[in-house]
Chains A and B, each alone.
Chain A
Amino acid sequence: MSAAERTVSIPAILIHWTPAIASGFLINLGISMLAMALTTLLGTLLGVGAFARHAWLRHACAGYTHFFQNAPWLVILFYCMLLLPFRLHLGVLALPLPDWLKAVFGITLGALANMAEIVRAALRSIPSGQWESSDAMAFTRTQTLWLIALPQCVRRMLPAWVNLYALVVISTPLCAVVGVHEGMSAVADMLAFHDRPGLLLPAYAYLLTIFFVCCYPIARGAQRLERALHSGDSLVDR
């Protein structure tokens, strides 16, 4: 490191490092979006499973939810890294499973238990008259869930869903611990490459700021949504 480099201000250095840190942060965002998409899909199925007519299916869904809701995401991530193969063989197809994809699966496994709880709670909040009238009109349980109950749940679930997404985003730095190159690792790489251990605190504070700028509007949005939905809007369920 040259003397000239030493004299450059900290903000200037961080701005100089921004493309590298941002590219790492984009991996965080990518992982969070993919994980949230999978979480929404599978968590909805899991939450709906809690209302299945078959007791074994209800118990299986509840068992998964209770177990993974109380499991640390980092431990789940480690399991995914260690247990999932590098390549998935599907007949003649050999699909590579890069670390970032394993991280997506790990975060999804943890988050979808929370999603299932959100769906289950929203379904529980549907007035009993809706289920009763659906039964009286001879809808099947599946039809009642997918055509009548779940569409009414969307608005009810939205604030909690947005909160869960914010939680997923801020949990993605865990992936650095299991070797995924994302925002945290990008900062570590820049500190090591430029040999600037003295910038450790400002560099990570810079990354924190990036996360804050990304997640705060999401959290605020969730709060505003929640307020709007509880403000007595008569069209709330539409």
Chain B
Amino acid sequence: MLIANFTEVRYREEADPAPSHPFIQCRDVRKSFGTQPVLNGISMEIRKSEVVCIIGPSGSGKSTLLRCFNGLVPVDSGEVFVDRQPVHAKTTDLRMLRRRIGMVFQQYNLFPHRTVLQNVMMAPIHVLGQPRGAVEQRARELIRKVRLSGKENSYPSQLSGGQQQRVAIARSLAMNPDAMLFDEVTAALDPETVGEVLVTIRELAASGMTCVLVTHEMAFAREVADQVYFTDAGLIVESGPPDQLFSCPRDARTRAFLERVL
């Protein structure tokens, strides 16, 4: 039922059914912070409605790669395309592009001076210029869908980590994005609250939303992903469907990593 609800709030899928080109495409993306190389030539493609999980050891460049998708981190070389639009071209209006890609962070990053409802309403009102009445109605609906009804007037500091993360998801969904990026969204949560966030993401993925997840939740990645990418030292070491990657990894580094975490 909830899966159907998430589908209702999206509209762009219907306007552009199953396009043949990848929705997000990276070509030989390289990035260094100072003298420290973080991405050493990443190429990958993500199609619409696909659920992609990026796994790998800490410091392997997963979060940086995710931030390259919406231009939060500029690349040194290579190209990233979102719906065929070059993200890092000087002519690209990044703000217009970011309206189409929601992002949820490890530390939630909710606005602490605003209530749950206001957090969800802010961007549609101020960025999209939508009328307050319609935005509020939709925000309440999204809050209900992430199972936080009754918390509309609470402040983030009054919520648990899991609840805050679900508000962050609702806040991103309020922009009606075409794709969602999740950056280790359960890493800061205690084990009891991880489940409630994963349920929300699972429903979202099942609704057909394009999702890219950087995650350490291997069981979850195996369950929801269409494609899993294993990164190490700024490179994609191996990728494939979850059953293949988790059951019979080809590369020794993947095997060693999976043995450590599974």
Contacts and interface: CB of A to CB of B under 8 A. Distances in A.
A135 B72 contact: yes
Interface in A183-238: 234-235, 237-238
Interface in B117-137: 122-123, 126-127
B126 A139 contact: yes
A138 B98 contact: yes
A130 B109 CA distance: 6
A238 B112 contact: yes
Interface stretch (A40-48, A145-153, A169-177): A145-153
A152 B72 contact: no
Contacts, number: 63
Interface stretch (B22-30, B99-107, B191-199, B232-240): B99-107
A143 interface: yes
B220 interface: no
A133 interface: yes
A26 to B, nearest CB: 36
Interface string A137-166: 111100100011001100000000000000
Contact of B127 (A127, A133, A139): A139
Given A135-B72, A237-B157, A238-B157, A151 B105 contact: no
A151 B114 CA distance: 10
B175 A137 contact: yes
A138 B123 contact: yes
B113 A152 contact: yes
Nearest to A129: B109
A235 B105 contact: no
Contact of B95 (A130, A138, A234): A138
B interface, size bucket: 20 to 34
A1 to B, nearest CB: 62
A140 B99 CA distance: 12
B71 to A, nearest CB: 8
B210 interface: no
Nearest to B93: A138
B95 A235 contact: no
A132 B73 CA distance: 10
A238 B113 CA distance: 4
B113 A132 contact: no
A163 B95 CA distance: 40
Contacts of A130: 109, 111
- For A127, A132, A138, A151, the residue with the greatest tally of chain B CB atoms inside 10 Å of its CB is A138
Given A138-B95, A138-B98, A235-B155, A148 B109 contact: no
Contacts of A151: 113
A238 B158 CA distance: 11
B72 A132 contact: yes
DSSP class of A's interface residues: helix, strand, loop or mixed?
Answer: helix
B113 A136 contact: no
B105 A133 contact: yes
A147 B70 contact: no
B112 A136 contact: no
A136 B72 contact: yes
Contacts of B171: 137
A133 B103 contact: yes
A38 B73 CA distance: 39
B157 A143 contact: no
A237 B112 CA distance: 6
Contacts of B111: 130, 148, 152
Given A130-B111, A235-B155, A235-B157, A136 B70 contact: yes
Nearest to A135: B72
B157 A132 contact: no
A204 to B, nearest CB: 46
A139 to B, nearest CB: 6
Contacts of A133: 103, 105, 109-110
Interface string A98-111: 00000000000000
B244 to A, nearest CB: 32
A136 B122 contact: no
A134 to B, nearest CB: 8
Interface in A25-76: none
Interface of A: 127, 129-130, 132-133, 135-140, 143, 147-148, 151-152, 234-235, 237-238
6 contacts: A136-B70, A136-B72, A137-B98, A137-B122, A147-B126, A238-B157
A-B complex: 9 closest residue pairs judged by Cβ atoms: A133-B109, A237-B112, A129-B109, A136-B103, A138-B98, A138-B95, A137-B123, A234-B157, A138-B127
